[in-house]
């Protein structure tokens, strides 16, 4: 499982490389970061090295914040499976929520009916 910054770096490499080597600067990654994410060149460097060591990308060279990288099949496959698992997780959450609401509604109805029966027998 990749952290948010490493996943973002992998997404940018996959979008830029298309199976061929591309020269990318750390600024390419940092300027495209969403506002809620903060990172520096050291963080990007660590993310690229981590991806290279794990076989997600092939790193030809890294020099002062400049990287020559190529996305590997493992990296492209990770992005695709992550998208599928995200949609599966949201669908599962919706079904659990619906089941919890239905259970709460039926529980309240059954509880109310039992109270009404008890009161009817006592009176």
Total number of domains in the chain: 1
Please indicate, yes or no, if residue 113 is contained in any of the structural domains: no
Q: What CATH number is attached to the domain comprising 65? A: 1.10.10.10
Please indicate, yes or no, if residue 47 is contained in any of the structural domains: yes
- pLDDT at 87 (0 to 100): 66
Residue 112 pLDDT more than 90? yes
CA pair distance 57, 69, nearest whole angstrom: 7
- pLDDT at 88 (0 to 100): 66
Please indicate, yes or no, if residue 101 is contained in any of the structural domains: no
pLDDT tens string 69-101: 998 888 888 877 776 566 666 777 888 888 899
Instruction: Please choose, from the candidates 45, 60, 58, the residue with its C-alpha nearest in 3D space to the C-alpha of residue 19.
Output: 58
- Dihedrals φ, ψ of 18, to 5°? 50, 40
Helix then strand then coil, in percent of the chain rounded to 5, is 70, 15, 20
pTM for the model: 0.64
CA pair distance 60, 21, nearest whole angstrom: 8
- pLDDT at 3 (0 to 100): 82
E strands, the chain, are: 22-25, 57-63, 66-71
Please indicate, yes or no, if residue 26 is contained in any of the structural domains: yes
pLDDT tens string 28-56: 888 878 777 778 888 888 888 999 999 99
Structural domain including 37 reads 4-74
Please indicate, yes or no, if residue 49 is contained in any of the structural domains: yes
- pLDDT at 8 (0 to 100): 86
């Amino acid at each position: 499982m990749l952290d948010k910054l490493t996943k973002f770096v992998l997404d940018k490499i996959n979008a830029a490389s298309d199976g061929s080597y591309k020269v990318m600067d750390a600024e390419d990654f940092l300027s495209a970061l969403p506002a809620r994410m903060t990172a520096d060149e050291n963080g990007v460097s660590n993310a690229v090295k981590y991806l290279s060591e794990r076989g997600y990308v092939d790193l030809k060279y890294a020099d002062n914040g400049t990287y020559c990288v190529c996305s590997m099949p493992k990296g492209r496959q990770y992005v695709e499976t992550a998208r599928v698992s995200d949609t599966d997780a949201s669908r599962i959450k919706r079904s659990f929520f619906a089941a919890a609401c239905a259970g709460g509604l039926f529980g309240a109805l059954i509880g109310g009916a039992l109270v009404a029966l008890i009161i009817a027998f006592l009176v």
